[in-house]
Structure 1
Amino acid sequence: MASSRRLRALITNDDGIDSPGLWALAAAVRDAGLEVVVAAPHVDSSGVAASVLSVRDDDGVRVHPRTVPGLDDVPAFAVEGHPAYIVYAAGRGWLDPAPDVVVSGINLGANVGRSVLHSGTVGAALTASLQGWYGLAVSLDTGWVPPEAPHWEAATALVPQVLDLLLARDPGTVLSLNTPDVDAGALRELREAELAEFGNAQVVVEHREGDAHGTLVSSLRDMTEEPAADSDIALLAAGHPTLTELRPVTGVPGVLGRVAASNGRGAARSA
């Protein structure tokens, strides 16, 4: 990555262009020395994972120039599409030059456990990896009801350190940073974390009768099982910001060999 030019960062999120967490993250990445461009969904797009859905008409997907508060000199756009679509478009001719790193967040709410699969914040970072870029997802553990004044600084204080860790790795590396919603001075040490088995809550869906087809009603239930001590959920609860490396979708070779071996063992047991 040695070059006379500054690395370029695309800042996006799934909470939408009007999220103060996005603005705080863009400022932190710029202050860390990277060239910054902001492009985020025009409306909240939480929970869309790596969807590349966009709002299309005869003229394509609309892009609206915006000004990020406090960053008047930073190019910014509200895009009528999901965060992964924005990242995908950036690598297919929209942004020139294309970014070197995608930084996604700061998400209102932690992205923890294997349920990060469903996160639009994480989906954007993983899509960056598919383009051969670095990806960083940043989330603040605000709970299910966000506070009036989230501690964005708890996350932005760690951005320079985590960017250094990320950029020391190979391009395509994706990291997920979660921080407690506390004063930056109250943070405990940054810890590497395993993904919990699922997440910090379980979604339960009930089918209720009503109209001709009924209605699906979702609700949240706390997990009853204690998370492992080295999991992201447990470490966050103990006051630690957590860092986890994520892998994008990849194939696992040898499936036919495993099937043959399994059939052989089954035949031996029945003989």
Structure 2
Amino acid sequence: MRALITNDDGIDSPGLAALAAAALDSGLDVVVAAPVSQASGTSASVAAIGDSGRVVSERRSLPGLDVEAYAVAAHPGLISLIACRGGFGGKPDVVLSGINLGANVGRAVLHSGTVGAALTGHLNDVTSMAVSLDVGLDEPEPLWDEAGEVVRVVLPVLLDMPDASVLNLNVPNIAGVRGLRWAELARFGTVQSRVDDRGDGEVELVHVYAEQSLVPGTDTALLAEGFATLTALRSVERDVSPERALPAWPA
């Protein structure tokens, strides 16, 4: 099986290499295509970097890995889309996005470039998974190898799921993860953005820890307890629950 490895932290992220290594160890045929620079918070944007409309990529090598790798001037959502339409050597069987520096939890996953790449794979009928490591604002040393080991455990589960399934995996940044748990999405993420008014028509987004209590069974709560969390996601679908009878129009 062929796997696209991408991320939103950029081609030089150690988390990208850790994810590629885990995929290789799991027997997947790996191609890496990741943004040439940081692209966090881009959701499923299909924007390319630059104004020409062309997507520029260049071959790169990843330290210690014998894989085909590209640095791409585009957001991860577009990279995933290009791959699923046959770019970078052909349509993958699975899209793996990460390993992100920082958790992607709660409904805030909507804004994540890491999750956006996985959801784009799902929309194009490719099984996908986003992977994130819960490194907090105080920046402890990221334990990439711990996250890679969890990926090795989860990949058989992912590949055994129905076609075009999509999972969101978060791993606590601790030695000795307590186990795996299915998790609900929390209402908010672990870190939230606060808007500070700077005057003169300017505002500043400041990242702060969420103050809400952790709800048992959610991804934020289980991560705090030392568990790696899995959440199966749905992408864009019709929601019939709020629909009501419409007025006769035109009369």
Could you state the TM-score of these two structures normalised by the residue count of structure 2? 0.93
Q: Distance in 2 between matches of 1:239 and 1:68?
A: 30
- 1:15 pairs, out of 9, 13, 28, with 9
Shift of residue 260, structure 1, vs aligned partner: 2.2
RMSD: 1.7
Q: Distance in 2 between matches of 1:235 and 1:58?
A: 45
Give aligned-pair identity as a percent.
Answer: 51
Structure 2 counterpart SS, 1:94: coil
Letter of the 2:149 counterpart: A
Segments of 4+ moved more than 4 angstroms: 56-59
Q: 1:170 to 1:203 in 2, by over 3 A?
A: same
Give 5+ residue unaligned stretches, structure 1.
1-6, 264-271
Give 5+ residue unaligned stretches, structure 2.
none
Contact 1:113–1:195, Cα closer than 8 Å, also in 2: yes
Q: Distance in 2 between matches of 1:177 and 1:223?
A: 20
Shift of residue 224, structure 1, vs aligned partner: 2.5
Letter of the 1:28 counterpart: A
Q: 1:68 to 1:202 in 2, by over 3 A?
A: same
Q: Distance in 2 between matches of 1:236 and 1:171?
A: 27
Between structure 1 and structure 2, the one with the greater Rg is 1
Q: Larger helix proportion, structure 1 or 2?
A: 1
Q: Distance in 1 between matches of 2:138 and 2:125?
A: 36
Could you list the per-position Cα deviations for residues 46-102 of structure 1 after superposition, in whole angstroms to 9, with x for gaps in the alignment? 01000011024558211010001111x210000000001001111223233210100
Equivalences, count: 247
Residue 218 of structure 1 is matched in structure 2 by 205
Structure 2 counterpart SS, 1:259: coil
Residue 63 of structure 2 is matched in structure 1 by 69
Letter of the 2:206 counterpart: S
Residue 36 of structure 2 is matched in structure 1 by 42
Could you state the TM-score of these two structures normalised by the residue count of structure 1? 0.87
Q: Distance in 2 between matches of 1:56 and 1:200?
A: 33
Contact 1:103–1:135, Cα closer than 8 Å, also in 2: yes
How do 1:92-171 residues align onto structure 2 when only pairs under 5 Å count?
Answer: 92-147=85-140, 149-171=141-163
Residue 260 of structure 1 is matched in structure 2 by 245
- 2:54 pairs, out of 44, 52, 60, with 60
